[in-house]
Amino acid sequence: MTNVPSDLDQGTFYMISLPALADFNGDGKLDAAYGSYSNVYIVNGHGDGSFESTGKMMPIPPLAGTNTNGAAMNLAADFDGDGNQDIAVLVVYRAQEYPSLPVATEVWVYYGDGKGGFSAPVLALQNSRIFTAIGAADLDGTGRKDLIANSNGSYFAGYAVAVVSSLPGRSFGPEATYFAGTGLSNLEIADLNRDGRPDLLFGNGDYNTRTSSVTVLLNEGPTPAVSGVLQAVPEPSVTGPEFQPDRNVYATISRDTGWQCNLQRRRE
């Protein structure tokens, strides 16, 4: 047994989340990353099942108007595709006034350099839903792990599933929300239909909702880029000189980084 550092909640209770194991400093030994009330800690492993009793401490960012309820879960994954393990931390924030219930969850990512160092935290997901678990997989085939968050059971968040894509430059895209049945429990990630893309499998059923089933979200892959030319044509029932078409004006539509429509004038 190794005693490791942690935070006190108002000087009363210690708390650490379930650790994530990975080789963060490149020495070939598994290290442990875990969260507490106000900080994330990394302790180096000795390769024999023991860990250092002192570790690296990284602050958890606050959320205005709330108290930090601590890290609910930690996850090790390569979110920027550089071959080094990063740390994602699911943080729960609670109201400052009584009864001080959870009001929001955020996921922060600390990018690793493969030598034991980490970047300042980058916000990957912010939501008023109370997510309780996170996972990671390369869902869109970019070589970067994407983020999956889900609620657990029917407590507070309902039945929410969120997917956030990792983007170049150590950034994240907007949240895409899915429904995966009632009473969410565990999440498993695997290629269920053998098409080379990871799919999401959720267990359904908790103490409030007795469904005893599973829900599968099949990965359909990235949306293909769409491009083309749109010719403006007036509506036939509209007449009058003010509605005469200008055949030198045309629109282009593309979906490389999101839907865009551009009006252009042909050169004479």
* Tokens 């629109």, residue located: 251
CA distance 47 to 28: 8
CA distance 180 to 161: 7
pLDDT digits (tens, 9 = 90+) for 203-245: 887 666 666 788 899 999 876 666 666 665 655 555 555 545 5
Residues with Cβ within 8 Å of 78's Cβ and at least 6 positions away in sequence, in order, are: 84, 85, 86, 144, 145
> Contact, 23 vs 31, CB < 8 A?
yes
Edge-to-edge strand list for the sheet holding 39-43: 20-22, 31-35, 39-43, 56-59
Task: Give the residue with greater pLDDT, 103 vs 176.
Answer: 176
Q: Can you give the pLDDT at residue 226?
A: 62
Average pLDDT over residues 127-140: 88
Q: Can you give the pLDDT at residue 235?
A: 54
> Contact, 166 vs 107, CB < 8 A?
no
pLDDT at 44 over 90: yes
pLDDT at 170 over 60: yes
Report the share of the chain in percent with pLDDT over 70.
73
Q: Which of 212, 211, 188, 213 is nearest to 198 (CA)?
A: 188
Q: Can you give the pLDDT at residue 264?
A: 57
DSSP run (H or E) holding 70: strand 66-77
pLDDT at 144 over 60: yes
Task: Give the residue with greater pLDDT, 91 vs 222.
Answer: 91
Task: Give the residue with greater pLDDT, 14 vs 145.
Answer: 145
Average pLDDT over residues 172-177: 92
Q: Can you give the pLDDT at residue 148?
A: 95
pLDDT at 251 over 70: no
> Contact, 142 vs 167, CB < 8 A?
no
Q: Can you give the pLDDT at residue 225?
A: 63
Task: Give the residue with greater pLDDT, 90 vs 240.
Answer: 90
Q: Can you give the pLDDT at residue 54?
A: 86
Detail the DSSP E strand segments found in 114-257.
122-127, 133-137, 146-150, 160-164, 166-167, 171-172, 176-179, 184-190, 199-204, 213-217, 227-230, 249-254
Q: Can you give the pLDDT at residue 134?
A: 93
Average pLDDT over residues 158-186: 87
CA distance 172 to 162: 13
Q: Can you give the pLDDT at residue 107?
A: 95
Detail the DSSP E strand segments found in 82-159.
86-95, 102-110, 122-127, 133-137, 146-150
pLDDT at 171 over 90: yes
pLDDT at 53 over 70: yes
Band of residue 26 on the pLDDT scale cut at 50, 70, 90: very high
Q: Can you give the pLDDT at residue 214?
A: 86
CA distance 241 to 243: 5
Q: Can you give the pLDDT at residue 6?
A: 80
Q: Is the pTM of this model over 0.95?
A: no
> Contact, 9 vs 15, CB < 8 A?
yes
Label residue 50 left, alpha or beta by phi (over 0 means left) and psi (-120 to 50 means alpha): beta
- C-alpha atoms less than 13 angstroms from C-alpha of 43 in its C-beta half-sphere: 19
Task: Give the residue with greater pLDDT, 141 vs 158.
Answer: 141
